[in-house]
A and B are shown apart, each in its own frame.
Chain A
Amino acid sequence: AQSVTQLGSHVSVSEGALVLLRCNYSSSVPPYLFWYVQYPNQGLQLLLKYTSAATLVKGINGFEAEFKKSETSFHLTKPSAHMSDAAEYFCAVSLSPEIQGAQKLVFGQGTRLTINP
């Protein structure tokens, strides 16, 4: 069964420091992977997605993620944290649809990112 594991439910970094949020996946087939961000009292917003076109994926707000098949990882990074990055981040894998076009995401448990001034 396909699944994702996010290492660290809480991550705290200083403003201007590197952000690294970890995600490992389990999949028997080439996975489709996503990172979403959720701000308080809001829904999820797509940061970036991996669909096998390139291993380094650039997303919005300066975030990027690298797909490493050998490590079954898809970690999210940002070179310099900003106060506005404080939010909860979710890694997700899209299950292979049994029905053409059907969508189903399996999410990790989320990582809450805190930025210290």
Chain B
Amino acid sequence: KAGVTQTPRYLIKTRGQQVTLSCSPISGHRSVSWYQQTPGQGLQFLFEYFSETQRNKGNFPGRFSGRQFSNSRSEMNVSTLELGDSALYLCASSLGLGQGNHSPLHFGNGTRLTVT
């Protein structure tokens, strides 16, 4: 079974631009989460989608947005990029079903975004 696939692996953008990152979950997984990883702040939760609906959101500004398609693939978008947005962006998928669900997250290898 193929793992979580994130594209592109590396991205260089200029301050003020916008960027879209893509994530394909493991087949059968309906939940997709996004995390930002930086040396200073560590791993921080961005948002989670399930069946094309955002179920959970972290404490990030509105410049960060996402969506999920009917095939569970997800994209996240960052508008008006700032230098501080430079980070590794990780996508994770899980089954996402059931009350109190704590099924493990399966992570992709991430997209490393550099803002200059």
Contacts and interface: CB of A to CB of B under 8 A. Distances in A.
A73 to B, nearest CB: 19
Indicate the size class of the contact surface on chain B.
20 to 34
A97 B100 contact: yes
B109 A46 contact: no
A74 interface: no
B107 to A, nearest CB: 4
Interface stretch (A14-22, A61-69, A76-84, A98-106): A98-106
A101 B50 contact: yes
Interface of A: 32, 34, 36, 41-46, 49, 51, 90, 92, 94, 96-110
Contacts of B55: 99, 101-102
Interface string B32-76: 010100000011010010100001101000000000000000000
Contacts of B102: 32, 49, 51, 94, 103
Interface in B72-93: 90, 92
7 residue pairs, one from A and one from B, having the closest CB atoms:
A43-B107, A107-B43, A32-B102, A102-B55, A44-B107, A101-B101, A94-B102
B98 interface: yes
B109 A97 contact: no
Contacts of A32: 102
Q: Which of B4, B35, B100, B110 has the most CB of A within 10 A?
A: B100
Given A32-B102, A97-B101, A105 B4 contact: no
B94 interface: yes
Given A96-B100, A101-B31, A104-B56, A46 B43 contact: no
B106 interface: yes
Given A42-B109, A44-B92, 9 more contacts: A43-B90, A43-B107, A43-B109, A44-B105, A100-B99, A101-B101, A103-B96, A107-B42, A107-B43
Contacts of B42: 107-110
